[in-house]
Amino acid sequence: MTTELKYFTPSAARKTLPLVRKIVKDILDSSREMRLIADEIGSQVEQDPRIQKLADNIEDFMQELVEIGCFFKDWNFQIGLVDFPSIIDGKEVFLCWRSDEDDIMYYHEQDAGFAGRKIIPPEELTD
N- to C-terminal Cα separation, the chain: 31
Query: What mean pLDDT value characterizes the chain?
Result: 90
Q: How far apart are CA 127 and CA 124, in angstroms?
A: 7
What's residue 29's pLDDT? 96
Q: How far apart are CA 10 and CA 21, in angstroms?
A: 16
Q: What value, to the nearest 5°, has the Cα angle with vertex 24 and ends 35 and 118?
A: 115
- Condensed to tens digits (0 to 9), the pLDDT of residues 42-98 reads 777 778 899 899 999 999 999 999 999 999 998 889 999 999 999 998 999 999 999
pTM: 0.88
What's residue 127's pLDDT? 59
Confidence grade of residue 107 (pLDDT, cut at 50, 70, 90): very high
What's residue 106's pLDDT? 96
Is pLDDT of 18 > 90?
A: yes
Helix (H, G, I), strand (E, B) or coil at 122: helix
Is pLDDT of 3 > 70?
A: no
